[in-house]
Amino acid sequence: MRARRTLRTTLVAAGATAVLAASASGAFAAAAPHSAPVAHGAAHHHCKDKRVLVKTVRLADKVSVAKVYKTGRHHHHFEAEIWAKGTKYGTLVAKGKPAHGENNGLHVTLQPNGTVTSWVERAKPQPKPQPVAQRILVSITTLADDTSTGKVYKLGPNHYEADIYAHGHKVDTLAAKGRAAHGEDNGLHVVLKPDGRLISWVEDASDYSQGR
């Protein structure tokens, strides 16, 4: 029987420590059930630490409120219950230093003198999607190897693209925006100018035999 009483007291003390630790860390502490067991002598201590409601503060989200209580033997400490739409989300406990909590972007701070401040974390604005440039086909050119084809598209002023096809398959896309773009495939060289002109030539096979 003595061992059971010792175990019961240990669990109660551990639970109290967990609640205080949660409050000190800044998270909203969960409300303990009214039917929770208490340690021997706690009823007498509770009478000395009776809470007194001193004010209700509307919080920054315009929905939540903080109910501020004086606690402690001489009512020198403060607690703030955070409520929204009839539901309590947590309790802040300020004993000599500020207590901070956050719930769904609502930040609340309880000062040791009972002052409550709050602010809402605004969502970061989403970047505006960049408009997709429309490709307008302006020319189709047979390239210097007499088998490949270049399809030139205009996307804007001095902005062109050229899709290069070989044997019916697209092998590359050149993009010229303000300056020329160059590509090469099996000795076929293609240059797309910023004005949309497409130039091509075939590298002489003898260049390869000389190690180029």
pLDDT tens-place string over residues 33-60? 333 333 344 444 444 558 899 999 999 9
Inform me whether the pLDDT recorded for 3 exceeds 80.
Answer: no
Inform me whether the pLDDT recorded for 81 exceeds 60.
Answer: yes
DSSP string, 76-105: -EEEEEEEETTEEEEEEEESSS-EEEEETT
Inform me whether the pLDDT recorded for 16 exceeds 50.
Answer: no
Residue 205's pLDDT is 60
Global model pTM greater than 0.75:
no
Q: Which residue has the higher pLDDT, 18 or 191?
A: 191
Q: Which residue has the higher pLDDT, 18 or 60?
A: 60
- Coil vs helix vs strand at 133: coil
Residue 206's pLDDT is 55
pLDDT in tens, 146-168: 999 999 999 998 899 999 999 88
Top mean pLDDT of 27-36, 39-48, 83-92 is at 83-92
Q: 6-15, 25-34, 78-87, 112-121 — which is least confidently predicted?
A: 6-15
Average pLDDT over residues 139-150: 94
Residue 17's pLDDT is 27
Q: Where are the beta strands (DSSP E) in the chain?
A: 52-58, 64-71, 77-84, 87-94, 99-103, 106-110, 116-120, 136-142, 149-156, 159-166, 169-177, 181-185, 188-192, 198-202
Residue 186's pLDDT is 87
Mean pLDDT over the full length of the chain:
77
Sheet holding 64-71, edge to edge: 52-58, 64-71, 77-84, 87-94
Residue 28's pLDDT is 56
